[in-house]
Each structure stands twice: as C-alpha cells, then as structure tokens.
Structure 1
Amino acid sequence: MRDEFDSKGSAPAAAVVVGEDLSRLSVDDLTRRIERLTEEISRTEREREARGGVRAAADALFRK
C-alpha cells in the first residue's frame, strides 16, 4: 500500500495540469503551483544537463 504522505509528513502535491483553469485557485494555491512548476523546471534542466554531459563524452570518444 502506498503511503499517503511523503517523508516530510505532508500530503503529496497535486499534479499540475498545463492549461488548466486557474480562476478557482486561491493565492496560496497559485503560490504552491508556481513552487511545484519551478521545482519541475529545475529537475528537467538538471536532467538535460546530465544528458548533455553524456553526449559530449560520447562525441569526444567517437571523434578519435
């Protein structure tokens, strides 16, 4: 059974749906949404950078 709470003891974050209607969200909800999106952007950028490093190493190897 999946734990309903993360390791910090808080409830899991709701999924962010791109393009969803934001008019019903409170200011606090909008702030949390921005935080989740910012975290996801950072995670995506780290993954892209990691792949870029692998690509550069592969390019260097096959140029020899």
Structure 2
Amino acid sequence: MMFGDEDKPIKKPAAHEIGGDLGSLSVEDLAERIDLLRAEILRLEAEKERKSAGRRAADSFFR
C-alpha cells in the first residue's frame, strides 16, 4: 500500500473512468487505455454470447 505525505493511504486511480478528462494523458497512456478497453469489450461480448446461448437452449427446451 502506498502512503502520502501525511501517512494516509493513497487511493489508486481507476484504470479508466468513462467520460473522464483525457487532456493530461500521453499518447502511450491513451494507447494503453484503448488496449484495456478493447480487452474489456471482448470479455463483455464473450459473456453476452454465453448468456445468449443459455437463453436459446432454455427457449428451445420449453417450446
């Protein structure tokens, strides 16, 4: 855990905050965030497909 000047824990900033200010980020920081968000989109799409497949299976079973 990191501590500030007064020995208070410093809250680690979120990897990305939707709608947050991007002005202070470098090109490298922006590229890292883009990669992070692309990976998160893939994870979300995979979960959506998994749930959709379960829904389709349930629908076909109860028809």
Q: Give the TM-score, by structure 1 length.
A: 0.75
**Higher RCO (Cα < 8 Å, 6 or more apart):** 1
Code of the aligned partner of 1:54: G
- Counterpart of 1:6 in structure 2 is none
Structure 2: segments with no counterpart, 5+ residues: 1-13
1:34 aligned to 2:58? no
Identity %: 50
TM-align CA RMSD:
0.8
Query: Rg: which structure is higher?
Result: 2
- Corresponding residue pairs, total: 50
Instruction: Structure 1: give runs of 5+ residues left out of the alignment.
Output: 1-13
Match of 1:21 in 2: 21
- TM superposition shift of 1:43: 0.2
